[in-house]
Structure 1
Amino acid sequence: MRTNIIRHESMMASYYVVNGWTVVEVDGDLDAHTAPMVRDAVIRLLHEGHRHFVLDLGFVPFMDSMGLGVIVAVTKRIREHDGSLRIACVSPRMLKIFDLSGMRESYDIYPSVEEATRTAPALGGLAHWPHPAPG
């Protein structure tokens, strides 16, 4: 069941749970106006007991530095709760933003939500963040 968590004129967000992952689907721009709403929504979900997240950016046409900043901010919060974060993103434009910012190696980025949720989460999934796990 999908639950709406943000309704804004330029962005909506909802969440649903698949295989132990809380998928947060963002639909619209992730920028200075909407990024704080996403941060607050993820923090609320953490307080409700959600720990393992997939951030679905497949419907995000634009993301600025505030959008990247909120991803880092929620990653820190999720890590404090021994959770995990995966990014689902099919857009070459979004991947380029992660590449240019140097953040691509710090995150597990999947081409789809289906692939990101295929395996169940494990505790401490962000233990090595912001550096990739050794291997």
Structure 2
Amino acid sequence: MNINLDVELVEQEEATKLVLSGEIDAYTAPILKESLLPLTQQEGAEIIVDLEKVNYMDSTGLGVFISALKSSKEYSSSLKLVHLQDRVHRLFKITSLDSIITIDTTVRGGN
């Protein structure tokens, strides 16, 4: 089984979109962190993370998003997660991170 994470950066007029596909775990979280944190460190930037094609995430991934949230507050940028599959969204709900991270509540399929 090939465990990987693909990261695509899409520059939009109003925001920078990070489109992720694959799995976010202890092996791939550093790739996410390397891609996401510098975006949050741009003063006033708007970052949208598209998780539609992420079918698995563990606590390591949550840690990266917590770091990104702290960084975005420090640099007055905004961070929004969109298109979460149900199992990934559940992880944010169980840990109550959905109350501090902006998440588009339109939950996509998956278990």
Which bin holds the TM-score, normalised by the shorter protein? Answer: 0.7 to 0.9
Contact 2:40–2:47, Cα closer than 8 Å, also in 1: no
The alignment partner of 1:20 has SS state of: coil
Q: 1:21 aligned to 2, 15, 18, which one?
A: 15
TM-score normalised by L of structure 1: 0.68
Map Cα deviations across residues 12-70 of structure 1 (whole Å, 9 max, x no partner): 10111234111111111011111111111123335677821111111101000000000
TM-score normalised by L of structure 2: 0.82
Gaps of 5+ in 1: 1-7, 113-135
Map Cα deviations across residues 92-134 of structure 1 (whole Å, 9 max, x no partner): 111111111111111221128xxxxxxxxxxxxxxxxxxxxxx
Q: 1:65 aligned to 27, 49, 59, which one?
A: 59
CA distance in 2 between partners of 1:44 and 1:61 (Å): 24
* Bigger Rg, structure 1 or 2: 1
Find runs of 4+ consecutive structure 1 residues off by over 2 angstroms.
Answer: 43-50
The alignment partner of 1:60 has SS state of: strand
CA distance in 1 between partners of 2:97 and 2:40 (Å): 23
CA distance in 2 between partners of 1:12 and 1:20 (Å): 23
> Identity, % of aligned pairs?
24
Gaps of 5+ in 2: none
- Give the match for residue 96 of structure 1: 90
The RMSD of aligned alpha carbons is 2.3
